[in-house]
Structure 1
C-alpha cells in the first residue's frame, strides 16, 4: 500500500485543519520545503500537497512553494486546491507535478474535468470529500446532493488515476479512518481508492492494507508523533 504524507498549505505554512474548517488550524512548520525533504529522507516516495488558500479562492496561491518542493526534492508530487481550468493543469504538469487532484471541479465543472482527463489520462485524481455521505466542494464549505458513487459513475469511461476519498468529519481529528466507507467505495469503484481523513495510528494502515486499499494519506498522525513512518515503511 502506498503511504502518502500530506503537506497542507495555508498562508505559506504547513498546517492541519479540524474537520476542514479553515478557521481551526494548527501550524506545524514555517518551511514546507524542509518538511518535504524530511519525508524524502525517511524514504517516502510521494507527497500529497493541498493549496488550502487555492481551494477557497479558486486559484493557485501557494504555487511558488509547490514549485520549490518539485524542483528541490525527488518526490513524486500530487497537487490539489484551486485547480479550475486547463491553464492551471498545464502549469503544474510543466512544472513537473506528477498528478493533479480535482475536487470542486469534479462536481461543478464536469466539462473541464472530462477535458483534463482526456488530455492527461491516468494523471488526474478525483478528490471526493464527503460530509454526512455527500460530496462537499469549495474548500469544503458547500455540500452537494451527490454521493461518491454518483460522481464516480459519471467518469467511469475516463482514465482516472485514482480516487482520494476523505471523510471530512474525521479529518484532522485523529478519530480513525472511516475504513468501512472507504472499503465499500473501493469495492464499487473501477479506479484505485486512496483513503484520507482521520488516520489515528499504525493500526489504521494495517486495516486498510488488509482490504487491499491502494493508498493512504497521512497527516496529523505524523505531525503529532502518533506514528513512526520509518518503521512502518520497513514493514509495509
Structure 2
C-alpha cells in the first residue's frame, strides 16, 4: 500500500476543497513546496498534485509552484488537472513530473489515453458522483458508469487508476471501500483510493482488502485526524 499525501493547487496556494467545489477552498499553505518537503521527511515516496485551476481551464495554471515543488524535493510526483494533449504531457515530464494523471480526456477520448499510456507513465483519474463519471473539474456528470470506464483501460498499459468518490471528497466521512474495489476488479489495474479518508481505520480497511494498492490522503492530515508518520511506518 502506497500513501499519497495530496496537495491541491489553487492560485499558487495549497488548498483542500469539499466535494470539489472551488468556493469551498480552505488554504493550508502559501508555499506548497514546503509541504512536500515535510511529507518527504515523514517518509512519503510519492506526492499527489492536482492543479485545480488547470482542471477548470483545460490547461496547467500553477506551473510556477509545480516547478518549485520539483526543484525542492526528491519524492516522486504525480500530477493531474487540465492535461489534455501530448504536448502538455511532454512538458510536464520534462520539468520532472513522474506520472501524469488524465481525467476528463479519458471519458471523451479513451483511445488518446491508451496511445499516451503506450509511451508515457500515465494514470487515469476516474471521479464519480453516484457511480457516474464526473468530468471538467467535476462540474459535469456524464452518462457513463465509472466501472465501465475502468473496464475500458484493462490491459491498456495504464500504470494506475485513481478513483474518487466525489460525494465523499474532503468530507472526512470515510473512504468508499466498495467503490474502490469495484474499480479495481473492473480494470484489473493497480487502483488508488481517493475521497473521504478520515482516519487510520480507513487505511487499515483498504489494506485489509488486499486489492487496493494506494490511497490519497488530504484533509484527514491537514485537519489533524491522521498521524501520517505513523501511517508511513504501518505500510512500510
Question: The TM-score by the shorter chain falls in which range?
Answer: over 0.9
- Distance in 2 between the 1:179 and 1:211 partners? 9
Q: Normalization by structure 2: what TM-score?
A: 0.96
Report if the CA contact (8 A) 2:169-2:195 is conserved.
Answer: yes
**Displacement of 1:185:** 2.1
Q: Deviations over 1:122-150 (max 9, x none)?
A: x1000000001100000000000111221
Q: Deviations over 1:108-135 (max 9, x none)?
A: 1334322211222xx1000000001100
- Distance in 1 between the 2:169 and 2:151 partners? 25
Aligned length: 234
Report if the CA contact (8 A) 2:33-2:68 is conserved.
Answer: yes
Q: Normalization by structure 1: what TM-score?
A: 0.96
Asked if residue 152 in structure 1 is aligned to residue 115 in structure 2, the reply is no
- Distance in 1 between the 2:11 and 2:46 partners? 23
Asked if residue 214 in structure 1 is aligned to residue 213 in structure 2, the reply is yes
Residue 25 of structure 1 corresponds to 25
SS in 1 for 2:126: strand
Asked if residue 58 in structure 1 is aligned to residue 58 in structure 2, the reply is yes
Uncovered stretches (5+) of structure 2, i.e. residues with no partner: none
Asked if residue 182 in structure 1 is aligned to residue 180 in structure 2, the reply is yes
Residues 98-109 of structure 1 correspond to what in structure 2 (within 5 A)? Answer: 98-109=98-109
TM-align CA RMSD: 1.0
Uncovered stretches (5+) of structure 1, i.e. residues with no partner: none
**Displacement of 1:25:** 1.3
Residues 1-236 of structure 1 correspond to what in structure 2 (within 5 A)? Answer: 1-120=1-120, 123-212=121-210, 213-236=212-235
- Distance in 2 between the 1:149 and 1:226 partners? 30
**Displacement of 1:152:** 2.1
